[in-house]
Structure 1
Amino acid sequence: MPFLFSYVCNLLQALDDNQRTKTGLKPTANIIQQWFTKHRSLLNRGDHNDAALLSALFPEKRTDRVFRYGLKRLERTIGRGLGLGMTRKEELGRHEDAQWGMDLAECVERILRDTPNADPISPVTVEEIDDLLHDIASHCHFSSPAVRSFPPSSTPKNREEVLGNIYTRFSPRDAKWFTRLFLKNYQPVILDQQLVYRHYHPRLPLILKVRDDFVDAGRILASHKRERTVTERDEFAKHLQPKLGVKVGRQHWIKGRSLKQCLQIGYGRMSCEEKYDGEYCQIHIDLTKGYDCIQIFSKSGKDSTKDRKALHERNPWEHLMIVYYDILMVDDESLLAVKHSERHQRLREIATEVKGRSMLVQRQTIDCSRPSAETDLRRAFAKCITNRGEGLVLKPDTTYFNFGPSWGNSGSIAIKLKKEYIREFGDVGDFAVVGARYDPTKAKSYGFPNIKWTHFYIACLGNKEEVLRFGEQPEFVVTNVVELNETQMRAFMTTIQPVAVNPNDNKAFSSRVEEGVDSRKTPTTIFSEPPTRQCRVLDSEIPDGKQDTL
């Protein structure tokens, strides 16, 4: 039986309203539990589409689907679908102006409140939305191969029309949440994944650990509900096996804030491994597929095999290198229930190291039960810093996953220890805040109105000597973009009132944004008298041209 999208909106709106209320705040868990209790009969039906509902609850998890719709394109599509005139289209574009304090979703909601859709509204189901989004994503070459293999059911023009026309069937509230679903960001509402999974079905958290894919997990869950051959949790966990082509979920990670804390969390023999500055990936190899036997999943879960084919060395003397950390399955044998030390031994037997091309992770074993454990960890961390390493990772000698009923047991928790996680590390320097830009979606994450900027461009002075000696115009180099938490944002708005000008009107200084900073976005506002702020510099070596600060 179809599941109405308005039911999902009921949950999202209840959580949103609860966050905004000043009295009578309810625990989020209670709201979620009540919602699932109300809809339990629908969820338990044999014909219920689990993947469609989970995709609607967590659209950001569907990294396999790429729509390639920016805000402006979506805005135009909505305007055409609703048949808006020029004045209404201008109202729809207010999300770009910080003075209105609205994102695109709220602009749509406001327009439909003023001019509601005609009654009766044909209800939209999550299954219908799932089909539409899958069809749109199947035509984008950035989507995963599995999505792109979906048989085309429409032309580009028809897809635009269907996406725009679906807005004519929404209430103002539902149109708001669908817009955020399409943009894969429900902020200011953030659903706790593990909490929702547990309420959805007791076995779903286990399934998604091993098969981190809503479509595949939905199939397993449907089969389990239908057959009920295995009911006990431990027995069910034993039946779960990794599957080639479906990403295995990542272990639970926490940040180590001190050496002492790491040893308090850890226990027994811990693998102390170097953390390398690189890109995490999970590689599946199916030798039955011949040349196309390799499949690469990125940290987000997306099948990035095609993306990675374009990787190459810039110079003949440079080599891409792979570092092997773990092994989770060999042939049809799952190693998820095997201890870390045994998995590493299997990895040593299988992997071939080629100098400059591939290697096993550098590691040592630290026994947390020994009196020398803190000294051993301190020496390992000191060596890492001296060698300009990124940090350490501590892994217990236990199974890859803790299949217990909660995360509370530290059995399979990996600990990341980096310089920036420890407050005492790093040098403090003064940097200039040369400009900012406004992101309406990010602005909704703050619990107060009148946000003017959300992303701040941090720069160092590239010609300090010339400025001080000869009075030349400052030349700033933007090295980073920062987002403030709620406390920092309140302090910035209260104590700092920078002179903001349009970038085209800025005559006070010149600036350039380093390549790779903020995904090629640029400031929409320049602070002609840049405020300075102290930042902790954690890099042990600053590249040429970036060493000067104000």
Structure 2
Amino acid sequence: MSFKFAHICDYLERCEGISSYNPPLPPAELKSRLYRQHATWFASHHQDIDALDEHGTTALLSTFLPCRRKDRIYGLQSASLLKLLGRCLGLSASARHELSSFQTPNNGDLGDCLQRLLKVRGPPPLPFVTLQEVDDALHALASANRFSAPSVRQSFHPSSSIDLLADVLLRLHAVEAKWFVRLILKEFAPVTLNDRSIMTSVHFLLPDLLSMQDSFENACYALRTTFVDYPSRPDPHSRNILRQTAISLFRPTPGVKVSRPGYTKARSIKQCLEMTAGGKWLLERKYDGEYCQIHINLARGDNWLKIYSKSGRDSTEDRAGLRETIKKCLRIGSDKCKIKRACILVGEMVVFSDTENSILGFDQIRKHVSHAGIFLGAENDTPGRPGEHLMIILFDLLLLDDEDILSRSVEERKARLSSIYKRIHGRAAPAESCVMDFSQGNAERRLMNHFAASIACRHEGLVLKRCGVSYLSHGSIAGIKLKKDYITGLGDEADFAIVGASYSAQEAKKRSELRLKFTHFHLGCLINKAALDHDGIKPVYKIVATIAYDHCMSTEILERVNVEGSLLAEPYNEQSSPLTIESDNTSKMEVCFRDPLVFEVLGSSYSKLPGGYFMLRHPRVRKLHQDRTWKDCITFDQLQLAAAEALDTPQDSETQENVKW
């Protein structure tokens, strides 16, 4: 059957009306209204949703939850999408200018501007646009992007993507066009959808299915085949019985990513001890690398390997440097191989130096791992030295032939993992781990020793996994992350000058009630501090980071920096501005601050950026200082020195470093 795209737009439009209510609704009232709207919409359409085939259900989920389609990369931001819209809709120069008004603060996003533009054009031609047509157009658009998954790119046709996109756009009503634009940008702000609520409302088994097979296509196929006799929304009493029966039939599928379990952050040693509740936990060092989920399927011949990244992207081609190592450590092709048909392993990819006989920093990975054939950010890096290569550190086993691995405890899975591969020095090794009983009196001291040892080796910290529970256990805390920057006073921090700012309509839409003028802030470090004692010398800053407000600063700081920054902002001009900016991205900075403000910034150690210099990793704003000026901020040379000291491998032994900690 044909499900109208307009139905989903109606859902999103009603949610936006509630979320953007003026004055803003109290949190409890907002939650209640959104829940009632959600329940009403799904109750009205549940028969049509149940009648969808597997492709229709996949299209429905892909439209509601576009961010989960990691295989589809469109490569479009608001500015580039504006040009594409102008081409598809045949817009005049004046219409394109009107459409570009989203770049002005508080004028809405690109979707809003397109809606206003199309309203005056009257109703579009028939027939109405179906959900499947929208999904087909998006799939065709993604197939033309080299960063999309191979399974998406293989359907590419030179003319289909633009033709399908134009056909859909020309038949959309104004409000539908707004949500179609936001769908392409994978951002529905100010609407925030709850993934689990959407999935459960489509079918109660979807959250569990997607935790086992993180693919809409595979999950929807299972619903229409294996679980076709299960009702989509059973009564509460039957739900638990049916769910337990269904879970016993769940199995991972080689080539389809298994979801990662959730971890809880511990903000102190004391909190970590409270979370462990006196039980037995496996302590594992958290290496500073990139997550790999490795799928082996010997039935596929030469295509026996598939590697997924943390985001769920198929990175097999990018991480080809691991292929030979994986083959040798699993002894694939020899009579000593313990794998009969298939297995799924989990590990961390790092770079190892034979010369230094150690694991190198995270920033070295980009020299060895491409993205669709491009070594992103490596232009200014020194070439990789002889003896440097990729290494895999293995820490879990999710599938081995017909064995029911996922239902086993973490210690059982690790023991089984160690039996199927051989260590290769500098190439393949297990993650260092041990089981610890937190009911013992010396638990705190032992935890601190393990944590200090991990930090002394320049790892990120520890991961704690509860013993005796399965991989995808539900309910109590199953995993804890303990990292240096999570603990107050232990992270790396410094004061940075805020030399300028810029505005993104897409980001501002997330906090439309604040009427933001700036959403991104550019941090600079002085490179000529010594010369400022001379008259007529302007301060010269090097931009070392751009911080977006989302998840990086509190609402209070965001509001204050917008108010104070608006009083200091002026267009940047190299000749007339009171400061000089050095940056590869100067054009992205819309205004400079004639008297820079000061952020206190916290990071997770340091990493080398594509520009060839070091900066705090994952920077977050802790404070907007009122008692300090830009003259008190860290200079560029001081930043590089701080990074060198933090990243330098200690000359002391690991034990001596622990004592210092």
- TM-score normalized by the length of structure 2: 0.75
For the Cα contact (< 8 Å) 2:134–2:168, is it kept in 1? no
For the Cα contact (< 8 Å) 2:569–2:591, is it kept in 1? no
**Match of 1:7?**
7
Shift of 1:26: 4.5
Shift of 1:469: 7.1
Q: Please, which of 134, 143, 150 is the counterpart of residue 138 of structure 1?
A: 143
Shift of 1:282: 0.8
1:177/1:256 Cα in 2 relative to 1: closer, same or farther (>3 Å)? same
| Aligned counterparts of 2:580 and 2:433: Cα–Cα separation in 1 | 47
Please give the secondary structure, in 1, of the residue aligned with 2:188. coil
Is 1:455–2:457 an aligned residue pair? no
Percent identical pairs in the alignment equals 32
Deviations 1:241-294 (A, max 9, x none): 111110001101221112222232234211111111111121111223343322
For the Cα contact (< 8 Å) 1:237–1:403, is it kept in 2? no
Shift of 1:3: 1.7
Deviations 1:100-156 (A, max 9, x none): 5321111111111232334x6432121111112222222333221211233x5x543
For the Cα contact (< 8 Å) 1:273–1:364, is it kept in 2? yes
Give the letter for the 1:181 counterpart: L
Runs of 4+ in structure 1 off by over 6 angstroms are 540-545
Q: Please, which of 497, 506, 510 is the counterpart of residue 445 of structure 1?
A: 510
1:403/1:539 Cα in 2 relative to 1: closer, same or farther (>3 Å)? closer
Shift of 1:55: 0.3
Deviations 1:227-247 (A, max 9, x none): 449962222112111111100
Give the letter for the 1:341 counterpart: E
**Match of 1:381?**
451
Deviations 1:437-484 (A, max 9, x none): 222111111142542221111122233333357875433233222222
For the Cα contact (< 8 Å) 1:503–1:525, is it kept in 2? no
For the Cα contact (< 8 Å) 2:514–2:559, is it kept in 1? no
**Match of 2:319?**
308
Q: Please, which of 521, 524, 539 is the counterpart of residue 474 of structure 1?
A: 539
**Match of 1:42?**
48
1:70/1:493 Cα in 2 relative to 1: closer, same or farther (>3 Å)? closer
1:178/1:481 Cα in 2 relative to 1: closer, same or farther (>3 Å)? same
Give the letter for the 2:144 counterpart: H
Please give the secondary structure, in 1, of the residue aligned with 2:30. coil
| Aligned counterparts of 2:512 and 2:8: Cα–Cα separation in 1 | 23
Please give the secondary structure, in 1, of the residue aligned with 2:429. strand
Give the letter for the 2:17 counterpart: D
| Aligned counterparts of 1:275 and 1:338: Cα–Cα separation in 2 | 22
Deviations 1:316-346 (A, max 9, x none): 1322221112110112324111100011111
Shift of 1:370: 2.4
Please give the secondary structure, in 1, of the residue aligned with 2:180. helix
1:25/1:233 Cα in 2 relative to 1: closer, same or farther (>3 Å)? closer
Deviations 1:416-444 (A, max 9, x none): 11122122323653211122222211111
Q: Please, which of 100, 103, 107 is the counterpart of residue 101 of structure 1?
A: 107
**Match of 1:296?**
307
**Match of 2:271?**
261
Shift of 1:536: 3.3
Shift of 1:95: 2.0
Is 1:359–2:423 an aligned residue pair? no
**Match of 1:251?**
261
| Aligned counterparts of 2:154 and 2:603: Cα–Cα separation in 1 | 47
**Match of 1:394?**
464
Shift of 1:403: 5.2
| Aligned counterparts of 2:259 and 2:575: Cα–Cα separation in 1 | 50
Q: Please, which of 53, 59, 71 is the counterpart of residue 66 of structure 2?
A: 59
For the Cα contact (< 8 Å) 2:496–2:601, is it kept in 1? yes
Q: Please, which of 623, 628, 638 is the counterpart of residue 548 of structure 1?
A: 638
Name the stretch that deviates more: 449-458 or 307-316. Answer: 307-316
Please give the secondary structure, in 2, of the residue aligned with 1:446. helix
Structure 2: state its 5+ residue gaps. 232-238, 322-366, 369-382, 615-634, 640-661
**Match of 1:278?**
289
Q: Please, which of 203, 214, 217 is the counterpart of residue 215 of structure 1?
A: 217
1:538/1:213 Cα in 2 relative to 1: closer, same or farther (>3 Å)? closer
Shift of 1:353: 2.0
Q: Please, which of 537, 556, 562 is the counterpart of residue 493 of structure 1?
A: 562
- TM-score normalized by the length of structure 1: 0.89
Is 1:82–2:53 an aligned residue pair? no
RMSD: 2.8
**Match of 1:323?**
393
State the number of aligned residues. Answer: 535
Higher relative contact order (CA 8 A, sep 6+): 1
**Match of 2:339?**
none
| Aligned counterparts of 1:15 and 1:524: Cα–Cα separation in 2 | 32
| Aligned counterparts of 1:521 and 1:43: Cα–Cα separation in 2 | 47
1:222/1:537 Cα in 2 relative to 1: closer, same or farther (>3 Å)? closer
